[in-house]
Structure 1
């Protein structure tokens, strides 16, 4: 039999600008951007981040994934020089790589402080939850380079805040402070800088208390119905509900409710 080789087999041999920490006891995995002081995300790093999200999605010991960074800034964006050196084919895959948190079936939390620009903002927008500190600043500054966001930033932002605010942010390279991001509905929670880790830990623990099967179902349903009509969304919701109706976790949840105890979900 002929051996099959794939570039991905060696792509994760040495992580470029980030690390991965798995805490099996807490069912948590952290992807930590680590190229201080600004945690610039390289072209190669984008490919690796996608593969890591895919690998963690298959890891049964992981329930929740946290995307965070070392230092005072989440990420000031991508490697500008890398855009000129990359082939058009490579550049066309950027949005697919950065959408990896959205495709991941598990809950993904972005913990943002300081600069969160360009691809740093875009990959955060692809996460399910964004906890920001009051020092956080979101921006899509590509207009200053004669470009537009290329990894889903303008599209995802428009879905969240509408065309008027998105034009204001994108076409003027305008920065959004943490509190304003919360007020606009971009951030899930805004906390003092010193409390970012505590708030992230609390959300991880909360999410781990739910049924993993119900969590995966809810995420997929919400993602799949974001662009659908109301009637289709309701129809898909009904099918998803009926599927969960026969799950062990639903039976456990109902029994725990009536017995006034904490449910012990197994994910089946």
Structure 2
């Protein structure tokens, strides 16, 4: 059964608007947004989320990190008043904090239902997998405030869907429904609203079954080569393949294949 995680870092002594659950048997950690009904993300919460991701990335009990929320909405976005109260120096760190899922070596899943706006969308875009339901709506509504996305949203989105669709979403503060999100490649998988938790559990179990070192290598390689010329990407892929060739997990995978059994990966 999952247990609520406590942290030695005094900056995480009292979590602002979320909690962290650890399920050692499933080798997963859940970051649970818990400020219903809309799970608005405060400025201090952004700092804490970064620290939590960094801590979980070093936790040997955790293979997969899940970001989910309490209630019918993932998050309607950030605390608007907080932007005016924050210093320019603090605001300049927003994108770095929200990019923490992308920097994590471990796979990160976002389980999105209902509103997923502003920083909620940006946090999800920084994750590796996004599971959505028919109720999910994505949006970057900052133009309505006389502002632009400030936590990596427009940049990440443009990589995924191209400049034309990104301009349509950002410059018109347009909401994207679940069907569009799936068709455009924003979402990994779309399920019935009642099946979101089951689908998330299934993806966690699938990811945990693979070699930890191969998973970390694949994520870093794909992130690092996103903007690389094809020749450079192929060269880096070859180096990563060569390094994994020496791993215990690869040896175990080959032996298990020939012996027609399930491999036992150790991440070595």
TM-score range, shorter-chain basis? over 0.9
Matched, 1:24 2:34: no
SS at match of 2:105: coil
Q: Aligned runs of 1:248-263 on 2, under 5 Å?
A: 248-263=248-263
1:201 is aligned to 2:198 = no
Cross-structure match for 1:100: 100
Corresponding residue number in structure 2 for 1:137:
137
* Match in the other structure for 2:10: 10
* Aligned residue number for residue 34 of structure 2: 34
Structure 1 position 236, deviation (Å): 0.4
Deviation for aligned residue 1:248 = 0.1
Please give the alpha-carbon distance, in whole angstroms, between the structure 2 residues aligned to 1:50 and 1:231: 34
Q: Does 1:217 find its partner at 2:217?
A: yes
Deviation at 1:9, TM superposition (A): 3.6
Q: Can you give the 5+ residue segments of structure 2 that lack an aligned partner in the other structure? A: 1-7
Number of residue equivalences: 261
Equivalent residues in 2 for 1:110-121, closer than 5 Å: 110-121=110-121
Q: Which residue of 2 aligns with 1:3?
A: none
Between the aligned partners of 1:214 and 1:147, the Cα distance in structure 2 is: 40
RMSD of aligned residue pairs (Cα, Å): 0.7
Tell me by how many angstroms 1:243 deviates. 0.2
Moved over 4 A (4+): none
- Could you say what secondary structure the match of 1:26 adopts? coil
Shift of 1:11: 1.1
1:61-89 CA-partner distances (Å, limit 9, x unpaired): 10000000000000000000000000000
- Rounded to whole Å, the distance in 1 between the matches of 2:56 and 2:9 is 15
Instruction: Give the superposition deviation at 1:180.
Output: 1.1
Written as runs of structure 1 = structure 2, the 5 A alignment for 1:60-139 is 60-139=60-139
Give structure 1 stretches of 5+ with no counterpart.
Answer: 1-7
**1:157-196 equivalences in 2 (<5 Å):** 157-196=157-196
TM-score normalized with structure 1 length: 0.97
**2:41 maps to 1:46:** no
TM-score (norm 2): 0.97
